[in-house]
Amino acid sequence: MPEYKAPLRDMRFLIDNVFDFHGHYAALGATDASPDMVSAILEEGAKFCENVLAPLNRSGDEEGCHFDQGVVTTPKGFKEAFAQYVQGGWHGVAADPAYGGQGLPHSLGLVLSEMIGSSNTSWGMYPGLTHGAMSAIHAHGTDEQKATYLSKLTAGEWTGTMCLTEAHCGTDLGLIKTRALPQADGSYAVTGSKIFISAGEHDMSANIIHLVLAKLPDAPAGTKGISLFIVPKFHADSGERNAVHCGSIEHKMGIKASATCVLNFDGAKGFLIGEANKGLNCMFTMMNHARLGTGMQGLCNGEASFQGAIKYANDRLQMRSLTGAKAPEKAADPIIVHPDVRRMLLTMKAFNEGNRALTYFTAQLLDTAHLSNDPGQRQEAEDLLAFLTPICKAFMTETGLEVTNHGMQVFGGHGYIREWGMEQLVRDCRIAPIYEGTNGIQALDLLGRKVLGSQGKLLRGFTRIVHTFCATNAEHPQLSAYVAQLNRLNQQWGELTLSVGTAAMKNPDEVGAAAMDYLMYSGYIILAYLWLRMAIAAQAQDDAAFAKAKLATCEFYFKRLLPRTATHRAAVEAGSECLMSLPGAAFAF
């Protein structure tokens, strides 16, 4: 298994030099997030992830979770690691101090989440789902609900889930059959079955708080009739067991140490959170949190894969360089001298570091949306978050999967063998494009709802940032050609959007046909902007080797990866006819 080491040098570069987290925190009044505090979180978080979580990654995959008559046991060491995590205060880093949290900005919580996910994706699912539940209760719960649940969740005594999917419906939540019947005491009896519930049952906490989508008896049809309910595994007042039980756990391709459960609610006592029939709006608070976390899983698995691949490429001897022996004292040269291996490694490096920059850029927007006292700033941040969230989820997981595949390929035949750990990263990463809304759904959300649905407003909010950056750096002595390339694509972005919107007015299928390529096209442009920001910041670094590596990777990105936008543009412009003209029956032999 690759030995994970937190990439602290690159993380600090983004925090200190590219995005100026310290100035950002000062402007928001987040005085507790001092440079010393940030440094301590990086250093101590890295130790916990490297020394506690990473050693459990392979063993957790091999052992998996155990199911016995409704009882789920996590792999050896998982429960103890969670206790250590809670005892160290990590669970409440970004939580509200009113409920026992440290009240630090969300961006620091995401930085910690990156290290957790890179060292052990399956383990990270348990606290990750809890943070989402906390955000939903904090945003939409009553004062009584907050007092009942948030302190326990923040302390890590209890954990949380979100329960959406049912066997007959995935994304189309309007079809759910779970029902909630009002009771005389103001509670609801929730009945139904949910599937694919991550961390739905386990032995790591004393209680599990389920947030469950269900319909009231008089609910309108479709998504307008969905309500959200808090359904605890054990009643908060009496400690008695509620009528919710795990029917089975899934046998999965990856993330095997994360319990993915079928949950059966048999008249379980629940409590309405938020307004009746407005549950989907409440759940989106949690889902958006989860989608950003899922996007990070592409980065996390990619980072672990790259660390394994770069070490192997420097150690593995095979053939001689085409330009002559580079290690004549050895029987063969290390494979890192071969251009095709470098192509894979640089692709991995470019996507990982670009996606990390996208994560931190988005994390700052989360801070602003939550902490700014300026309504205009908050709205601008929320608009940018709405635009970027589907891109973060889909682009980062698509490219993360590409990165882990490259990592396995660098190892050749050894990459296909379990003992090296590279194939596990591919398997673990493969779920990320599927859950929390498939990437196709994210693409529809981006193009249909966020871009065209806002008449281009949300897109323009970002393209203006890029336009200003390009105008400021048009005469950059080293990077002007790349700035011009980005500027052309930024203009083309708007033109392409207009053409899709015009076509969709005649045929709505044009949106669905264009959506995935449009999202990937958008992601490549966003990373180009972020890579130029990193390249400019790198030039001011005293570390010459670090700066050279950044500039070289930026050059590789612009010359080798950014041209993929031309293919995605061509696919968008191809329209829907070639997709929709073949009758469904004609697909069969």
For the segment 60-82, what is each residue's pLDDT rounded down to a tens digit?
999 999 999 999 999 999 999 99
Residue 312: name the closest of 343, 332, 341 by CA. Answer: 341
pLDDT, mean of residues 233-240: 96
How does strand 244-249 pair with strand 260-273?
antiparallel
- What whole-number distance in Å separates Cα of residue 377 and Cα of residue 379? 5
Assess whether 353 carries a catalytic annotation: no
pLDDT, position 589:
67
For the segment 454-470, what is each residue's pLDDT rounded down to a tens digit?
999 999 999 999 999 99
pLDDT, mean of residues 16-25: 97
Provide Rg for the chain, Cα atoms: 24
The mean predicted confidence, pLDDT, of the chain is: 96
For helices 279-315 and 106-119, angle between their N-to-C axes, nearest 10 degrees = 50
For the segment 103-134, what is each residue's pLDDT rounded down to a tens digit?
999 999 999 999 999 999 999 999 999 999 99
Q: Return the biggest CA–CA distance within the chain.
A: 84
% of the chain surpassing 70 pLDDT: 100
Give the residue range(s) of CATH 1.10.540.10 domains in the chain: 8-155
pLDDT, position 2:
82
With a cut of 90, say whether residue 203 has pLDDT above it.
Answer: yes
pLDDT, mean of residues 390-397: 98
With a cut of 90, say whether residue 24 has pLDDT above it.
Answer: yes
With a cut of 80, say whether residue 286 has pLDDT above it.
Answer: no
Three-class SS of residue 241? strand
- What whole-number distance in Å separates Cα of residue 415 and Cα of residue 407? 8
Query: Would you give the distance in Å from CA 383 to the centre of its chain?
Result: 18
189: enclosing H helix or E strand: strand 188-198
pTM across the whole model: 0.97
Residue 508: name the closest of 441, 457, 459, 452 by CA. Answer: 452
- On the 0-12 / 13-18 / 19+ scale of CB atoms within 10 A, 376 is exposed
Q: Which fold has domain 159-277?
A: Butyryl-CoA Dehydrogenase, subunit A; domain 2 (2.40.110)
CB 142, CB 148: distance < 8 Å:
no
pLDDT, position 288:
74
With a cut of 80, say whether residue 295 has pLDDT above it.
Answer: yes
- What whole-number distance in Å separates Cα of residue 501 and Cα of residue 496? 9
For residue 206, how many other CB atoms are within 10 A of its CB? 13
Identity of the amino acid at 266 = D
Among 380, 436, 495, 573, the active-site one is: 436
For the segment 515-526, what is each residue's pLDDT rounded down to a tens digit?
999 999 999 999
For the segment 39-67, what is each residue's pLDDT rounded down to a tens digit?
999 999 999 999 999 999 999 999 999 99
CATH architecture of 8-155: Orthogonal Bundle (1.10)
For the segment 297-356, what is each residue's pLDDT rounded down to a tens digit?
999 999 999 999 999 999 999 999 999 999 999 999 999 999 999 999 999 999 999 999
- What whole-number distance in Å separates Cα of residue 444 and Cα of residue 316? 44
For the segment 395-431, what is each residue's pLDDT rounded down to a tens digit?
999 999 999 999 999 999 999 999 999 999 999 999 9
For the segment 528-553, what is each residue's pLDDT rounded down to a tens digit?
999 999 999 999 999 999 999 999 99
pLDDT, position 453:
97
- What whole-number distance in Å separates Cα of residue 435 and Cα of residue 538? 36
With a cut of 90, say whether residue 140 has pLDDT above it.
Answer: yes
How does strand 158-163 pair with strand 207-214?
parallel
pLDDT, position 587:
83
With a cut of 90, say whether residue 92 has pLDDT above it.
Answer: yes
- On the 0-12 / 13-18 / 19+ scale of CB atoms within 10 A, 6 is buried
With a cut of 90, say whether residue 586 has pLDDT above it.
Answer: no
pLDDT, mean of residues 198-220: 97
Write b or e for each residue in 265-301: b if 16 or more Cβ atoms lie within 10 A of its Cβ, otherwise e.
beebbbbbbbebbbbbebbebbbbbbbbbbbbbbbbb
Instruction: Assign 174 a pLDDT band (cuts: 50, 70, 90).
Output: confident
